Amino acid sequence: MTSGSGSAKPDPEARKYIRSHVMRGKNRKRASRKEDLPVGSWINNQEAQVTPHGTMSDIPRSLAPDVALINYATEIKPQMMELVFTWFTSLKQAIYPVEVCMEADLDTSQWVYYLAYDKAYVYSVLFTTRAFFDYIRDQTIGHEAIAYLQNSLEFLRLNLADRDAQTSDSTIAVVLSLALMSDLIGDSKSAEAHLKGLYQMVKLRGGIKALRTNSQLQKKVCRTDLQFSLSTGKRTVFFADSTTMSWSPFIAKDRKESSKLAMHQAYPHSLDQRLLNVWLDLQEFSRSANIAFQTGRKIPGALFQEAVTSALYRLIALQYDYSDTTPVRDTIMRLGMLAFSTTTFLQIQGLPADNNKDLSAKARTFLRLPPTAEQQQFEKEALEEFLKLKLWFLFVAYITILSRLGDEDLIVAHVAKIVASLGLNSWRGVREILLDHMWIDWLDFCRSKAQVLLAKALAWGSTAP
């Protein structure tokens, strides 16, 4: 960590971020309530039950607790209390885009409970919040954040020496927050050490399924594991054995067989059924998210998290089964789905779009490699379905994982050739293709960046020799 100057309160830029995030989605028109269906859990091998249009909810968001009334485990100064409030109102909710779903943490009681009896947890919250705003401001971690970190580690050691506290929910919450924050600021060595410790703690509890009684904590553990894997390229520590995970569709069980057949018939090679099942799940999730927005409703946070968690674990596991002989179509689908999933699940506002460094590197390498004979044949024959798939991948990758200056020229050139081959000259035509694959149509930053990319591609095509 690079030391910088800390401040007692978030600076004006940070305060603007907090206000904008808290207000996002609050003025939407509420729809009439309908009975919700149970969501199930891929993590715990419980089947989901989802209608063809997705399970949606119009439950209002809960407000943050009155942080001044919490009986903290340690002495809290006013500026520290403000950081706790910031954590409840923005950072904890910024993990998932508010437009996509209801936040899973509607009940804040367990986090308040941790603040009341676990000093290590109190200081981990202070460190996470202060370090986040330090980092998005100038890519450094200030002295104040480092002091909070040192206090958190000191009390964490005491927890680990206590048989009753060493694997408690609050101690697990401390370690996962330290692991996640270390990874986000680029300290992969510390992140890996925390993650290994986290794995051992969960193992002592009986494994990841043993956390089912605290689903909020269980999903945060999985999120931390996935974030580190996508950032470093290392295997996940949970669900590392692909033979023990479920490869069946999780939420797309009701999709008609015609959908599967259409995908199979579009290409000369048969699709990996495992990859196809993930594709169908994410398509269903994307469709449900768009319907939810159009009807003024929201997808329950539990469904959102389970759907994307299951997809990411399966997609990451597949990379170890694929090789240079894997059909280019399968590689495009896998990388594209990883990029799409990180948009809604792992991308935190304020951090670089290519924070998932290993995933970005893999996509960059793929685009720069000479086309395979298979790809050359597809493009020469202008195989429509392949060109549409590649176009979708290029737009998703540009928005989510490829944001360097050198990436843009490469992607623009690819997009220009494809839109010319498909006879596309407007956003409407491109948007239809994106929606046919998977696309969250109403995320403003996605739509605006996509339209900019198309404009540049059309301009490039008009001037290309």
What distance in Å separates the CA atoms of residue 331 and residue 437, rounded to the nearest whole number? 15
Q: Residue 208 is encoded by which pair of tokens?
A: 């990841």
For the stretch 129-171, pLDDT in tens is 999 888 888 888 999 999 999 999 999 999 999 999 999 999 9
In whole angstroms, what is the distance from residue 387 CA to residue 389 CA? Answer: 5
CA atoms within 13 A on the CB side of 391: 32
pLDDT score, position 447: 83
Contacts of 189 by beta carbon, 8 Å cutoff, 6+ apart: none
| pLDDT for 145 | 93
The DSSP H or E segment spanning 141 is: strand 141-142
β-pairing verdict for 3-4 and 141-142: parallel
305 closest CA partner among 367, 244, 224: 224
With beta carbons less than 8 A apart as the criterion, state whether 338 and 346 touch. Answer: no
Q: Tokens for 172?
A: 């697990």
Q: What is the DSSP string of 35-58?
A: PPPP--BTTTTB-----TT---B-
pLDDT at residue 241 in the model: 86
CB-neighbour burial class of residue 265 (10 A; exposed 0-12, middle 13-18, buried 19+): exposed
Angle at 341 between CA 338 and CA 344, to 5 degrees: 150
Q: Dihedral sign for Cα 135, 136, 139, 140, please.
A: negative
- Whose CA is closest to 284, among 266, 298, 267, 303? 303
Tens digit of pLDDT at every position of the chain (465 positions): 333 444 444 555 555 544 454 444 444 444 333 334 335 677 777 655 443 333 333 333 444 567 788 889 999 998 999 998 888 777 765 555 545 555 445 566 788 889 999 999 999 999 999 998 888 888 889 999 999 999 999 999 999 999 999 999 999 999 999 999 998 888 999 999 999 999 999 999 999 999 988 888 998 899 999 989 988 889 999 998 888 888 888 887 766 554 554 555 555 566 788 999 999 999 888 888 888 878 877 777 777 788 889 999 999 999 876 666 677 888 899 999 998 988 766 666 655 555 677 888 888 888 887 777 766 766 666 578 888 999 999 999 988 888 676 788 889 999 999 999 899 999 999 999 999 999 887 776 678 889 999 999 999 866 655
Angle between helices 169-184 and 119-138 (to 10 degrees): 10
